[in-house]
């Protein structure tokens, strides 16, 4: 197949950041996605309805003229989040709340340190119809970083799913065969997003021949057996799995430093790379469901009415993207060839 046309897709997990970065990240996403779930881990994090509304206004100011792109706002959960915060967020148009275990990823220091204490908040979310989006990793320093997702399932996620059977839960950016199996075997109220980097890469691509900082993300890349499990999951066409890029920009100097900032800025190549994965899997007929249908259906939102056409044509991801300030960002797959291109 040399060309494919699909319903305009959505990105169900990304990071726009804030300030100057919005003028780069918002157009990059709006070029091919109609909507996006916006992660709330800013500094300070988006912890209440007013902050979510204000952040949405800043995002909208960066949407290109003529674009109908719509950001979908989320709340950042802390152990101070109240039932009232959830009710006010729902009234303000927020559609989900994000659970980060404290210290799990970028700007998550103020996040949840006592998950069981959040159960009254989860109950209110279940009542209000807000989705719970979960970064599913434990963060205790003595636990191997490659095991943290599996242990989170056993210690916390399985219990949350049992305690709140009508709460819609998205297990975000899953990375392991255990996560794929858990989602597959759970009720229809549990789904997962999968990133392009976890479909395309494994930990060899991070570590062999020297650490490659621009492939460093959290959850970290895993063994190839887990990469294979994720690829098989999307190839089934299961409605439980859908597109979430976790596109997350960092300045070049911040990625290439002792900081080792976690995140892959994939907005400029993600849809094309997903298409390449599905082509490699001989599953292009499953791409539209993954990219355009499953997420909207799970969130209870209408499917988009437009279309996007991709053609099998090689192009090269740029080595860097420059901001007006002169700051450089290295995009995911920088300098590498992609086999599919948006027409």
For the chain, counts of helices (H) and of strands (E): 14, 13
Distance CA 225, CA 234 (A): 15
Band the pLDDT of 225: cuts 50, 70, 90: very high
pLDDT at residue 62 greater than cutoff 80: yes
Average pLDDT for residues 29-52, to the nearest whole number?
Answer: 97
pLDDT at residue 213 greater than cutoff 80: yes
C-alpha separations of 69 from 49, 64, 66, 182 in Å = 21, 9, 9, 33
State yes or no: is 280 an active-site residue.
no
The pLDDT, as a whole number, for residue 83 is: 98
Binding-site residue ranges: 13, 15-17, 41, 98, 135, 173, 218, 246, 250, 262
Distance CA 151, CA 178 (A): 10
Q: Which residues contact 229 (CB under 8 A, 6 or more apart)?
A: 176, 177, 180, 181
The pLDDT, as a whole number, for residue 103 is: 77
Which residue is catalytic, options 246, 279, 280, 285? 246
Distance CA 265, CA 245 (A): 9
C-alpha separations of 210 from 185, 207, 215, 246, 320 in Å = 38, 5, 12, 24, 20
Band the pLDDT of 111: cuts 50, 70, 90: confident
Band the pLDDT of 77: cuts 50, 70, 90: very high
Which residue has 């204490």 as its token pair? Answer: 117
Average pLDDT for residues 239-252, to the nearest whole number?
Answer: 97
Measured from the Cβ of residue 83, the count of other Cβ atoms closer than 10 Å reads 14
Average pLDDT for residues 250-274, to the nearest whole number?
Answer: 93
Q: For 82-100, how does the pLDDT look when each residue is reduced to its tens digit (9 = 90+)?
A: 999 999 999 999 999 999 9
pLDDT at residue 49 greater than cutoff 90: yes
Q: For 152-200, how does the pLDDT look when each residue is reduced to its tens digit (9 = 90+)?
A: 999 999 999 999 999 999 999 999 999 999 999 999 999 999 999 999 9
- Residue 141 main-chain phi, psi, to 5 deg: -65, -25
Give the pairing type, strands 3-7 and 241-243. unpaired
Q: What percentage of the chain carries pLDDT values higher than 70?
A: 100
Average pLDDT for residues 264-280, to the nearest whole number?
Answer: 98
Nearest alpha carbon to residue 261 among 199, 204, 318, 218: 218
Band the pLDDT of 104: cuts 50, 70, 90: confident
Between 306 and 111, the higher pLDDT residue = 306
Q: What tokens were used for 192?
A: 């997962």
Binding-site residue ranges for substrate: 15-17, 41, 135, 218, 250, 262
Q: What tokens were used for 261?
A: 């900032």
Band the pLDDT of 260: cuts 50, 70, 90: confident
Distance CA 198, CA 263 (A): 12
Cβ(243)–Cβ(295) under 8 Å? Answer: yes
Partnered with residue 342 across adjacent β-strands are 310
Band the pLDDT of 108: cuts 50, 70, 90: confident
What is the pTM for the complete model shown? 0.97
Q: What percentage of the chain carries pLDDT values higher than 90?
A: 93
The pLDDT, as a whole number, for residue 35 is: 98
Distance CA 187, CA 241 (A): 13
Average pLDDT for residues 26-32, to the nearest whole number?
Answer: 98
Which residue has 């799990």 as its token pair? Answer: 104
Nearest alpha carbon to residue 166 among 196, 199, 118, 127: 127
């Amino acid at each position: 197949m040399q060309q494919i046309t699909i319903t305009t897709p959505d990105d169900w997990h990304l990071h726009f950041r804030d300030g100057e970065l919005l003028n780069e990240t918002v157009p990059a996403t709006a070029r091919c996605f109609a909507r996006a779930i916006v992660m709330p881990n800013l500094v300070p994090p988006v912890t209440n309805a007013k902050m979510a509304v204000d952040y949405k206004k800043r995002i909208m100011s960066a949407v290109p003229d003529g674009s109908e792109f719509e950001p979908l706002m989320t709340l950042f959960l802390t152990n101070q989040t109240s039932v009232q915060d959830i009710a006010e967020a729902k009234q303000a148009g927020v559609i989900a709340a994000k659970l980060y275990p404290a210290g799990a990823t970028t700007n998550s220091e103020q996040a949840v340190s006592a998950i069981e204490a959040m159960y009254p908040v989860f109950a209110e979310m279940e009542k209000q119809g807000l989705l719970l989006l979960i970064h599913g990793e434990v963060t205790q320093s003595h636990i191997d970083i490659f095991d943290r997702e599996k242990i989170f399932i056993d210690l916390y996620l399985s219990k949350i799913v049992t305690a709140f059977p009508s709460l819609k839960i998205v297990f975000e950016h899953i990375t392991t065969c255990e996560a794929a199996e858990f989602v597959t075997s759970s009720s229809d109220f549990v789904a997962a997003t999968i990133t392009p980097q976890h479909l395309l890469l494994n930990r060899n691509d991070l570590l062999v021949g020297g650490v490659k900082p621009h492939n460093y993300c959290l959850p970290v890349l895993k063994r190839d057996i887990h990469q294979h499990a994720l690829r098989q999951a999307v190839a089934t066409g299961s409605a439980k799995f859908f597109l979430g890029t976790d596109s997350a920009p960092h300045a070049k100097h911040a990625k290439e430093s002792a900081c080792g900032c976690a995140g892959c800025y994939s907005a400029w190549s993600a849809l094309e790379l997903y298409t390449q994965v599905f082509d490699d899997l001989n599953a292009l007929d499953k791409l539209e469901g993954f990219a355009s249908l499953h997420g909207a259906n799970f969130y209870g939102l209408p499917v988009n009415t437009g279309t996007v056409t991709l053609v099998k044509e090689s192009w090269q991801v740029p080595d860097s993207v420059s901001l007006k300030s002169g700051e450089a960002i290295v995009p995911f797959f920088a300098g590498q060839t992609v086999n599919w291109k948006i027409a």
